[in-house]
Amino acid sequence: MSDAIWAGTVGFTGHEQAELEAYLARPLGDRPRGGVVVIHHMPGYDEGTKEIVRRFAAGGYAAVCPNLYSREGAGVSPDDQAAAARAKGGVPDEQLVGDVAGAAAYLNSLDHANGKIGVIGYCSGGRQSFLAACSLQIDAAVDCYGAFVAADPPADFPLKARSLLSRAADLSCPLLGLFGEQDSYPAPSEVGVIETELDKLGKEHEFHIFPDAGHGFFSTDRAAYRPVAAVEGWKKIFAFYGRHLAA
Amino acid sequence: MCTYLTENFELDGAGKGATGWFTVSQGAVYVDHPYHATHEHTVNIDFTNPSEGPSARVAVELTEESALALVEAIHKTLAAAPPGLASTKR
């Protein structure tokens, strides 16, 4: 099996027909493969997230990360786009769902797509991965330490996001949740609330709370990086997608 | 955690960004995830001019200790200078 990949910037059509930027990585081989939509964390469409996209391609998937802040202007650097989007209170939920739907359709339009779509998100993207899986027909979703899935943000936060627990009944696919025991947002107690709700609804899920890890433990370029949790987490992600995104 | 808590204020001055000098009209201070710093959270300060678009921005991402040292240094410097020397009313 060839492990060669192609990676680079592409365009796709997102919510309300907006033309958006994205980073795509895909294997060069011709085996049928699933697609993965990677939802970046709140600081934006950065090098760390692009590395994650390439890792999925090296693992045999076509993966795309939409730049959720594309609307802040073409030619504007991703950090300035992120600051501008943040000043507006972040990405509205409806827009996120439309953008993920567009990214999934884009992946399914590529040669050798098998029609299966996974989503994965980190930090705010973890909540957005859960949201996408409750709003769209997805085949496997991964939530990496997404806060405000089971709890609303504190009242004085300008963040528009609200708890998604009432949407859990609409979860369209199995959910893998990867969390840090030392994280406060989401705290293990919030993770427990999500798990209880999914148990009650009979929704397939697999949650792991890693010891000695907090928020952002997958981020290799930050002090929060925890190699034990990250290495084990990556194994669980590939095993999960292997079960649910195969042809 | 993505706090989104932000202190916005008007500014009158100039800053040097990626494309050169521009007039600064707005400031924002927030404690949130940084873009470049390796800490999970930092005190982020943006000096911007929204009328010139998102690229008109000078950004710093500081640890809490660094941000407080900056505040102290500003107070000390202003206290040492003749009163009103850098004031807009001068």
Q: What is the pLDDT of residues A8-65, one digit of tens each?
A: 999 999 999 999 999 999 999 999 999 999 999 988 899 999 999 999 999 999 999 9
CA–CA min distance B46, chain A (Å)? 8
For A125, the closest chain B residue by CA position comes to B2
Interface predicted TM-score (ipTM) of this complex, two decimals: 0.85
Mean of all residue pLDDT scores within chain B: 94
Split chain A (247 residues) into runs of 10 and give each run's mean pLDDT: 90 97 97 97 93 97 98 94 90 97 98 98 96 98 95 78 93 98 94 97 98 96 95 98 93
pLDDT recorded at residue A89: 84
Q: Tell me the whole-structure pTM to 2 decimals.
A: 0.93
Q: What residues contact A189, with CB distance under 8 A and at least 6 apart?
A: none
Identity of the residue numbered A135: S
**With contacts defined as CB-CB under 8 Å, which chain B residues touch A184?**
1
pLDDT recorded at residue A152: 87
pLDDT recorded at residue B2: 74
Q: What residues contact A107, with CB distance under 8 A and at least 6 apart?
A: A35, A36, A37, A62, A64, A113, A117
CA–CA min distance A96, chain B (Å)? 17
pLDDT recorded at residue B90: 78
For A40, the closest chain B residue by CA position comes to B35
CA gap A210, A201 in Å, rounded: 25
pLDDT recorded at residue A15: 98
Pick among B4, B7, B39, B45 to test the A interface (most A CBs inside 10 A): B4
What does each C-alpha distance from A20 to A7, A23, A54, A241, B51 come to in angstroms? 17, 10, 19, 26, 23
pLDDT recorded at residue A1: 57
Does residue B18 contact residue B56 with C-beta atoms inside 8 Å?
A: no
**Tokens 């990086």 sit on residue:** A225
- Mean pLDDT along residues B16-35: 95
Does residue A69 contact residue A82 with C-beta atoms inside 8 Å?
A: yes
For every residue of A180-246, DSSP letters joined together read ETT-STT-HHHHHHHHHHHHHHT--EEEEEETT--TTTT-TTSTT--HHHHHHHHHHHHHHHHHHS-
Are A80 and B4 in contact (CB < 8 Å)?
Answer: no
For A155-164, the pLDDT digits (tens) are 777 777 789 9
Does residue A60 contact residue A33 with C-beta atoms inside 8 Å?
A: yes
